Amino acid sequence: MGGMSTSTIPLPEALAELRDAFLDTPEKERLQLLLEVSRELPPLPARYADAPERLERVQECQSPVYAIAEVSDDGLVAFHASAPEEAPTTRGFASILAQGLTGLTAQQVLDLPDELPLMFGLTRSVSLLRLNGMAGMLTRAKRQVREQLAARTV
Amino acid sequence: MPAPTDPAQKLAEYAHPERLVTTQWLADHLKDPELVVVESDEDVLLYETGHIPGAVKVDWHTELQHPVVRDYLDDEAFAGLMRAKGIGRDTTVVLYGDKNNWWAAYTAWVFTLFGHRDVRLLDGGRGLWTAEGRDLTTDVPAREAAEYPVVERDDRTIRAFKEDVQAHLGLGPLVDIRSPQEYTGERISIPDYPEEGVLRGGHIPTARNVPWARAVAEDGTYKTRAELEAIYTAGLGMSPSDDVVTYCRIGERSSHTWFALTYLLGYENVRNYDGSWTEWGNAVRAPIAQGEEPGEWVA
């Protein structure tokens, strides 16, 4: 699944490294890698932890996930998310995006391929249904970035 | 030889007490050689974060579904799955999982399609086991492959297809176990689960709505037999000899209710319609009802 069509799409460095790490791992062990990645999800910065209403609920996820992609004054994106401990798959998705999106320019985030969630070789071991959760996070992150850019140009 | 029945008093009241085990009983029987503990979760990684010692994992989505047909494993593949998990035909299977055992009950239902005889649920599921501070481990057991015969799946006794539901309408009770908002048609997905898309909101005509969670106490265990009878038998005017069909969105939450009606209350003819709303709600020319009334079936 995916194969040549998605693995050759150029990605920013951090995401490309993550993608390669997954694709270089035998399929049976990719879940374990996703679990390791899930453990790297950074805690929310205090300004969000104290004000969860500033985050957006990711409806596509099966668990209560809240996320925000913020654009700093210098135009760089930071992706923050929280998901419950008992939802490690979702935490893994969020962690991939937190590591992969943070530090990109707003334009780089907007240019990310929408099929990004399919590029980690997880379709069989995690399933398309569950990968919808990551697609939902990415779609929302892009929209949040667009909204912040638009608000600045007004 | 099946494992012994949990003698807990609460369970003894149920029609089939041998189908549930308490957390304490399971903790005391983890080493029984005739018993295999199976975890089935919504989250495909939860088992890897820690599970009941000795438990194997069966994922409802990547392991129980047919790879290309919307259906369950075929007979050969099921036997292969059981062999690989180290489960023999006479093994006592104790299932547990997250979300109050939704997926564990679903796995129990699928195992029962193949006639596996001794399938039990851990009352309270993963939530209660962890809430009680019981042992978890990340060690994956190296179980020896078991013998398992190829058994023909029985799609008649506890499974209903769309055509069966059509034939059933107006003749017997139909229980819609989704949230009230899904039932009335205000929303087309379970709160928080929008990914299984449907085109229309509402319910199958004549269905009565009893959200699955009404069967569950605060600690995630099933309510007592008397409480369940008040909800289903008295509440819906059903009797254990009725032909009953349960459904939800893809058949997982309704497996939880199928289990309660069949094994806890002794209903003899309960079928789960696994096509559920994701089939009926999208089916060409299938009538639906909206709002709080069950609606009528006009043949």
Domain map of chain A by residue range?
Answer: 13-153
**pLDDT number for residue B50:** 97
Counting beta carbons within 10 angstroms of the beta carbon of residue A28, is it exposed (0 to 12), middle (13 to 18) or buried (19 or more)?
exposed
**C-beta separation of B209 from B247 below 8 A:** no
Per-residue model confidence as pLDDT tens digits over B141-178: 999 999 999 999 999 999 999 999 999 999 999 999 99
In chain A, residues with a C-beta closer than 8 Å to the C-beta of B61 are: 127, 129-130
DSSP count for chain A of H helices, then E strands: 8, 3
Whole-number Å distance between alpha carbons of B63 and A127 = 10
Task: Tell whether the torsion through CA atoms of B41, B80, B138 and B25 is positive or negative.
Answer: positive
Helix spans in B169-281 (H): 180-184, 225-228, 253-259, 276-280
3-state DSSP assignment of residue B57: strand
Q: What is the CA radius of gyration of chain B?
A: 19
- The CA distance from B298 to B41, in Å, is 39
Residue A10 pLDDT > 70: yes
Helices (H) and strands (E) in chain B, counts: 11, 10
Q: What is the pTM of this model?
A: 0.91
CB B295 within 8 A of CB B145: no
Task: Fill in the DSSP letter of residue B264.
Answer: I
Contact flag B44-A125 (C-beta cutoff 8 Å)? yes
What is the band of A64 on the pLDDT scale with cuts at 50, 70, 90? confident
Q: Are B256 and B102 in contact (CB under 8 A)?
A: yes
Q: Which residues pair with B21 in a beta bridge?
A: B122
Q: What is the pLDDT of residue A3?
A: 46
Q: What is the pLDDT of residues A118-143, one digit of tens each?
A: 999 999 999 888 898 899 899 999 99
Binned at pLDDT 50, 70 and 90, residue B191 comes out as low
What pLDDT was estimated at residue B194?
47
Q: Looking at the annotation, which residues of B are catalytic?
A: 248
Nearest CA among A97, A115, A107, A121 for reference residue A149: A107
Residues in contact with B200: Cβ distance below 8 Å, sequence separation at least 6, in sequence order: B185, B188, B281, B282, B288
User: Which residue is associated with the tokens 């990310």?
Assistant: A112
Report pLDDT for A2: 43
Q: Do B98 and A130 touch (CB under 8 A)?
A: no
C-alpha distances in Å from residue B109, one per residue of A34, B4, B137, B215: 29, 21, 26, 17
Residue B243 phi/psi, 5° resolution? -80, 120
Contact B61 A31 (CB under 8 A): no
Scanning A76-95 for CB atoms below 8 A from B yields 85-90, 92
Domain A13-153: give its CATH code: 3.90.1010.10
* pLDDT tens, residue by residue, B46-81: 999 999 999 999 999 899 999 899 999 999 999 999
pLDDT of residue B216 exceeding 70: yes
Nearest partner of A34 among A108, A109, A104, A90, judged by Cα: A90
A126 touches chain B (CB under 8 A): yes
Q: Which pLDDT score is estimated for A62? A: 67
* A96-124 tens-digit pLDDT: 999 999 999 999 999 999 999 999 999 99
Among B48, B62, B196, whose Cβ lies nearest the Cβ of A32? B48
pLDDT of B189 higher than 60: no
Q: In the structure encoding, which two tokens stand for residue B257, read together?
A: 């209710």
| Cα four-point dihedral sign B188, B62, A62, B23 | positive
* Dihedrals phi, psi of B271, to nearest 5 degrees: -115, 140
Rounded to whole angstroms, the Cα distance separating A11 from B73 reads: 37
Q: What distance in Å separates the CA atoms of residue B105 and residue B254, rounded to the nearest whole number?
A: 9
Position A6 scores a pLDDT of 64
